[in-house]
A and B are shown apart, each in its own frame.
Chain A
Amino acid sequence: MLIDILISACLVISGIFGLVGSFGLIKLPDPMMRLHAPTKATTLGVGGALIASMLYFYFVVGNFSFHELMITLFLFLTAPITGHFIAKTHLHLLHKPADLPPTGTARPWASYESDAERQRIEAEQAAENPRA
C-alpha cells in the first residue's frame, strides 16, 4: 500500500513537472528564459517517471533493472550540454558582440574569438610565463 502511494506520488509529480516545462516553453517571453523551462523542469519530470518505473519493477513486478538508472544518468549528463549549445546559438543569432556585458579582459567572450586570434594570444601567454 505504502509503495503504491510512493509510485503514484512520483508519477503525479513527474507529470506536473513535465507539463510545467513544456508550458514554460510556450509561455515565457524571452529566448534565454525559454531555455530555462525545458532543460530543468522537463528533465526533473522524466527523472520522476523513470524513478517510478524503477520502483514499480522492483516492488510490484519483482525484478530490478538498471536501465532506468542508465537513462536517467544519460539525460542528466546531456541536458546541460544541449542547454549550453542552445544558449550559444541564441547568443550568436540574436545578439551582437557589442551588446554583451564586458568580459573584464582584453579578450572577447570565448564563442566570439576566432581560432587564429585565440592561438596568437595563447602563444603570447606561453611565451610570457614558460613554466605555466
Chain B
Amino acid sequence: MIEYALYFAFACFGLGLLMNIYRVISAPAVGDRILALDTMVVNAIALLALYGIHKGTTVYFEASMIIAMTGFISTVSYTRFLLRGDIIE
C-alpha cells in the first residue's frame, strides 16, 4: 500500500515540478520567476524525501538539507538584488 501511495506522491510532485518549469519559462513578471524557482526547490526536496523512502536509506536527507539552504540563500539574494541593486551592502 505504501508503494502505491509513494508512486502517487511521485507523480504529483513531478507534475508540480513540470508546472513550475512552465512558469519559469513563461513568467509575466520577474517576481513570478523567483517564486517559481523557490517552489521548484521545495518540490525537489519533497522528491528527494520520497526517493529516500523508496530506496530505504537516509543518505538523501543531507542532500535535501543542502538544497534547502542553497534555495533559501539564492531566493533571498535574488530578491535583495532586485530591491536594492546590491546583495551585501
Contact = CB atoms under 8 A, between A and B. Distances in A.
B9 A11 contact: yes
Interface in B1-35: 1-2, 4-6, 8-13, 15-17, 19-20, 22-23, 28-32, 34-35
B42 A42 contact: yes
Nearest to B67: A71
A81 B20 contact: no
Interface string B65-81: 10011001001100110
Interface string A84-112: 01101110111000000000000000010
A46 to B, nearest CB: 4
Contacts of A50: 46, 49
A57 B65 contact: no
Interface in A48-92: 49-50, 52-53, 56-57, 60-61, 63, 65, 67-68, 70-71, 74-75, 78, 81-82, 85-86, 88-90, 92
B49 A53 contact: yes
User: Chain A contact residues: over half helix, strand or loop, or mixed?
Assistant: helix
Contacts of A8: 1-2, 4-5
B19 to A, nearest CB: 4
B6 A11 contact: yes
- Chain A interface size range: 35 or more
Nearest to B62: A67
Nearest to B61: A67
B5 A12 contact: yes
B86 to A, nearest CB: 12
Nearest to A22: B16
Contact of A26 (B17, B19, B65, B76): B19
Contacts of A85: 75-76, 79-80, 83
A104 B21 CA distance: 41
Interface of B: 1-2, 4-6, 8-13, 15-17, 19-20, 22-23, 28-32, 34-36, 38-39, 42-43, 45-46, 49-50, 52-53, 56, 58, 61-62, 64-65, 68-69, 72, 75-76, 79-80, 82-83
Given A25-B19, A46-B42, A46-B49, 16 more contacts: A4-B2, A15-B12, A21-B16, A22-B15, A23-B16, A25-B32, A34-B32, A53-B49, A53-B52, A65-B61, A67-B65, A82-B75, A85-B75, A86-B75, A88-B83, A89-B31
